[in-house]
Chain A
């Protein structure tokens, strides 16, 4: 099983500032990585696919980077609606054994 490790567990950032979230895979997943945003009481929402491509309707302030085992989600100029929990998800295996990171909570400083 590929283990996904996210850091930090909690990130406190002020509105208008930049947030950088990390995700590390226990072995290479190439660029087969997605990021999701989840707000309390809601289902996850797809943010980034293929490590760096914004999903449909996602604002340009969201960007993803990385490949192999190290990935980053960057949110520039944080808006109030961006404060949520973010999960990374690898989909590299076939037959699949999809795994998620444990999440990073992005909170208002």
Chain B
């Protein structure tokens, strides 16, 4: 059974960088048939896609976050990571990592089929 687990600080100061890691167990992260993504959810609000990364390191970012976002992947450690710089209170949210199914015929990523439990990150001084 595939499992994903987010880790990182629960509190980040304004203007600093939010860094999270997702550890994957029960399956391979270096497969050609999946992307790996981050989604966030501000308290009491809806879901927002942050970005997705392929095992090769290819990334796709939400245009609204692109200037502050860096994602990376380490297949040997079965981990992928998120760095979001210059955070403000608006970045306070539960951050989820998830596996993203891929349409291998079209070479496009699709829906999120496995999710981590989420980690609450609060931006506050």
Contacts and interface: CB of A to CB of B under 8 A. Distances in A.
Given A43-B117, A43-B118, A101 B46 contact: yes
A103 B63 contact: no
Given A34-B111, A43-B118, A96 B47 contact: no
Given A96-B60, A97-B62, A97-B63, A46 B111 contact: yes
Interface stretch (A14-22, A66-74, A87-95): A87-95
B108 A49 contact: no
A44 interface: yes
B112 A32 contact: no
A91 B118 contact: no
Contacts of B118: 43
Contact residues on A (Cβ < 8 Å of other chain), bracket: 20 to 34
A97 B49 CA distance: 8
Interface of B: 46-49, 52, 60, 62-63, 96, 98, 101, 106, 108-113, 115-118
A32 to B, nearest CB: 7
Interface of A: 1, 32, 34, 36, 42-46, 49, 55, 87, 89, 91, 94-103
B101 to A, nearest CB: 8
A91 B117 contact: no
A43 B116 contact: yes
Given A34-B111, A43-B117, A44-B112, A103 B46 contact: yes
A4 to B, nearest CB: 10
A95 B107 CA distance: 11
A45 B98 CA distance: 11
A43 B60 contact: no
